Structure 1
């Protein structure tokens, strides 16, 4: 008997899983609330680490894997930790992270371009305009209900519907997300020949993490394209500076504890938020002010930071969860999308293997056991990094800055400590 698999949510993890299952000949469908494939054209750069690259390579058909590679940009070979005066604390050289194999390498990609690639090649599988409202059980069958009144029957339902997952809220109501009290303000600075002349190489050629003496931090990363990459969708129409299918830019994000911000900031527009960041970084190197001031107001937004909390093991059934729907995390280690892709790869492997044994329940149980371990470990690591990023403790910040200087002074120790940077 064929197992009918319904994936709720057409984000990164859900679409990657759909491709892997379809490639294996499984009966799979994806139900996405967006009305069209271009409705989700939003977001910033995403870093795909070797775990994410391996998952995409394994699950995507060869032609889409090549398209993914064609739409990726580059970041410089060096990841730098710097002071607010733009003085190096530590530089991670490209030799520590680069691999000649694209399937085990790091990639920089626009979230928009990634979503467009993953949405391709799923005719008859990906269904738009399907806003999930709940499910009911009819014996061993799960009936998914949508806002338009339609339903779909499935033998296995996978909630991949993001951090505010409705599947999770019904299936695991005890699984909660909490506000960390940290707020980021993010923007994008166009990267052109003119802006390259005004900004230092440290900001234009590689990611940088700014560690002032206390209380806040700023991350920046260039996303460069040669102008030939495209989402290849004639229905897409948007400002290339704000919605980045072919434009190079530097993404930046300033983050601090909410208590450092004025009341009422949640209603501010991009222009007011940009002015606020400029005020908060007063006294920093002028390059950072240039970076922020040169970002179009429409690209600047406020991003409250939430995180999930670990959930005790639950009884395995014919409903499970993937990605942010179960282990959403802060953006401070850049591993949320990669963990969702790791979920997709593992669950795909297990379900494909279960076609031989017919034991889908055991396949799902094994996935859930492994996913809880590495998924919530990633959540904890990400939250710890977020707390350190905005720490008000001058002593701990001074120790962290001193540690980076120490590693920089002794290359063999730095190589040992950071050779697996970004793979977990």
Structure 2
């Protein structure tokens, strides 16, 4: 039984962005998502240029290896085209884009990836992230310096280490060839989805049994329901069993679906890519732009050093807070103990009426009372009722009150 592909692509500007810097494409064999960066410096232009160049490779290939090479070559060509565009339009300096692409050849998927858009595979009830984010925080996670949970709130979580743009003439592209089978559901998405929708919710949507188009709308809607501060783009690809493989109508979404409008524009201020070097990002009501910083040893060393300083400050803050908490707890326990030692009670100790200092309780193995004075009165000399009250202990607010109780007990014993 041959396998066929059914796909859908959808892009949304989100609830805060003024323009859509994402682009997506779902064709007969090729499926791509690109997330532009650079804000008004041309993120929308970057993703559109990349998608338009890469979609030229949407055709049959004789082998998965040929498709992998074609994808890699198209990303390098798109990178060169971006550099040429910036050279001709200086107002676009600083633009760049992520790209995550898949090319289907028979029962294989050739993959090319750069940046932090993602490719997921849902198979047999399990969701797997196929691509690795090319971000600074992912480097920290991979090296064991921080946890994935810490990476999600790290102040430099939007710093990209690899993108297509006008900085690196030969960017490193991750490529792979993976097998695919009927029943597989693939998802390509920009970080507008993966950063704001938990993986368990993504998995639940992919497992819903809806077709590709309905699933893509559900994923985007759930992201919008969560506020969707960033552009969000998804491409859903289903592998089905089919005798025939009907051709899909290619779909382009996002900025690549509209005419490029940067020609002749003026008034844009050039923005160099490494503008946030060593400046921590701040949480704002508007979404953070992704920023690119080249993978240089010096820069990585400085970022890691800065992160180490941040970790030390965080650890110091926790230690100070812990120390203050310990002082408060110890101080409270000390004052509580001092308070107990201002009280007295009368009780039975080895058959003798005894004055105790403290209260009748204990904290685990620690008793909050001690013998203060042993009297000559024998408990056996007391009346039955009085004897019972002594055995149950008689509380006194101070030492004078305790001595007064002993005097009354002495009178009772003398009768």
Structure scoring higher RCO (CA < 8 A, sep ≥ 6) equals: 1
Name the structure where strand makes up a greater proportion of residues.
2
TM interval, short-chain normalised = under 0.3
Query: What TM-score, normalized to structure 2?
Result: 0.20
Query: What TM-score, normalized to structure 1?
Result: 0.19
